[in-house]
Amino acid sequence: MRMYDLIYTKKLGGALSPEQIAFWVKGAADGSIPDEQSASLLMAICWRGMSTGETLALTLAMRDSGKRLNLTSVPGLKVDKHSTGGVGDKTTMILGPIVAACGVPCPMFSGRGLGHTGGTVDKFEAIPGLRVELSEEEFLRSLAETRFANSAQTADIAPADKKLYALRDITATVESIPLITASIMSKKLAGGADALVLDVKCGPTAFMKTLEDATTLAESMVAVGTAHGMQIRALITRMDAPLGWAIGNAVEIMESVEILRGEHADSELAEMSFRLAAEMLIMGGAAKTLPEAQAKVQASIQDGSALETLRRFVALNGGDATTLDDFSRLPQPGQVVDVRANRDGYIAAIDGRALGILAMDLGAGRRDRTDVLDLGVGIRVLARVGQKVAKGDLLFQVMAKSNHLVVPDLYLTTLELTMTQPKAAPWLMATIGC
């Protein structure tokens, strides 16, 4: 088989066979196919697309490029979640403990942050002592003892994806529905869960800019998961403003704990986390209907069992669980600077991407993979879309290193102010398979 023929076929819009796809993925991972040929095929796939059959074959080949986790030693249906990523997205830290407290094992692998979006692994690392790179034994023990396990993705899960994603990143070939589908689903299938809920973000700063594209991506992932015997559902959620009040690492732990204590119950973050958790309970067999699942979610917040599950997960994996009850023991910023409105108006929009970049500049995120984070810095976003503000109202609190020059105007430019009250847009845009 010649890689040239695969590139030529796809360039003309033809279909690749499962054998050809397996040949490419194996060669890309073991280095026998040069990067320039893989990059060329990736670009051809971006332009010409892939059929469902080809996407399935690509997902399987990438899944089988590494290890597959066997979770069968833990009883019950294991349910995972994947979000296509957003600024301030801390749903994993909220819904994982909820789902586990309701009796459904929740195994999750997460990533570190890069660019304007944060990563769950970095956020968990803000808890002193917590091990975020668990061995397979530690991961299984956490799942068996607390029903919740979260760890950085190990290098032996879908290594072909790691290789191809790095190439996509530098060749402008990330935004392709079959490539995103295979990348995400290969890792999820290798992770060993029986069911998966997807949170597909949609908006001007998300991978998927329109509801049509987000629906196509969600349907593509649902088709691949279903073909491999995985139960799978998707929510398409609006993404523009940051999710919740906190952007940063320690501050996002604080906000997650506050939600698990029952605070901010009417926020989008709480509503979204609770809805995703409810879908997971249905797939895990803990509830038959959405109202029943939602009642269980609420009960786990009211009786404290969700927060207690998070404490047990943290303590079991070496973390200081007292930080969850005493936030002063979490990493702290060197200074806090208030940013106030410089005129009256209604907040029509908040640019989450711009705030994510500002948080990265504070040291909460990485511009480069090798950057070292300051886990105590971040932004408290008090402004809300639709809110009426008067000059002088507090809109942001910037938590910075003591030597960081905070320029309030940079934060104010992330807000769009209007003279008339904007119409609220619901966070849930569509559901698939629910």
Residue numbers of the site for ligand URA (CB under 6 A)?
84, 165, 174, 179-180, 183-184
382 burial via Cβ count (<10 Å: 0-12, 13-18, 19+)? middle
Examine the residue annotation and report whether 187 is marked as an active-site residue of this protein.
yes
Nearer to ligand URA, 10 or 201 (CB): 201
Nearer to ligand URA, 7 or 180 (CB): 180
Nearer to ligand URA, 168 or 311 (CB): 168
The residue annotated as part of the active site, out of 38, 176, 183, 186, is: 183
Least Å distance between CB 114 and ligand URA? 11
The residue annotated as part of the active site, out of 168, 296, 353, 380, is: 168
Examine the residue annotation and report whether 404 is marked as an active-site residue of this protein.
no
Alpha-carbon distance of 31 to 67, in angstroms, equals 18
The residue annotated as part of the active site, out of 80, 122, 161, 199, is: 161
* The two structure tokens encoding residue 141: 């023990």
- Looking at 191-285, list the stretches that DSSP marks H as alpha helix, in order from N- to C-terminal side: 211-227, 250-260, 268-283
Examine the residue annotation and report whether 183 is marked as an active-site residue of this protein.
yes
- Looking at 174-237, list the stretches that DSSP marks H as alpha helix, in order from N- to C-terminal side: 177-190, 211-227
The residue annotated as part of the active site, out of 63, 78, 81, 82, is: 82
For residue 208, which of 173, 169, 237, 171 has the smallest C-alpha distance? Answer: 237
Examine the residue annotation and report whether 401 is marked as an active-site residue of this protein.
no
Backbone angles phi, psi at 98, to 5 degrees: -65, -50
Q: HSE of 401 in the Cβ direction (CA atoms, 13 Å)?
A: 12
Nearer to ligand URA, 58 or 101 (CB): 58
The residue annotated as part of the active site, out of 187, 188, 296, 380, is: 187
Least Å distance between CB 145 and ligand URA? 28
Please identify the residue of the shown chain whose CB is closest to the bound ligand URA: 183
Least Å distance between CB 402 and ligand URA? 35
* The two structure tokens encoding residue 322: 């007292």
Alpha-carbon distance of 189 to 66, in angstroms, equals 11
* The two structure tokens encoding residue 15: 């279909």
The type of residue at 431 is T
Least Å distance between CB 360 and ligand URA? 18
The type of residue at 264 is H
Least Å distance between CB 312 and ligand URA? 29
Residues ≥6 apart with Cβ < 8 Å to 270: 94, 259, 264
Examine the residue annotation and report whether 168 is marked as an active-site residue of this protein.
yes
Nearer to ligand URA, 109 or 245 (CB): 109
Catalytic positions, written as ranges: 82, 161, 168, 183, 187
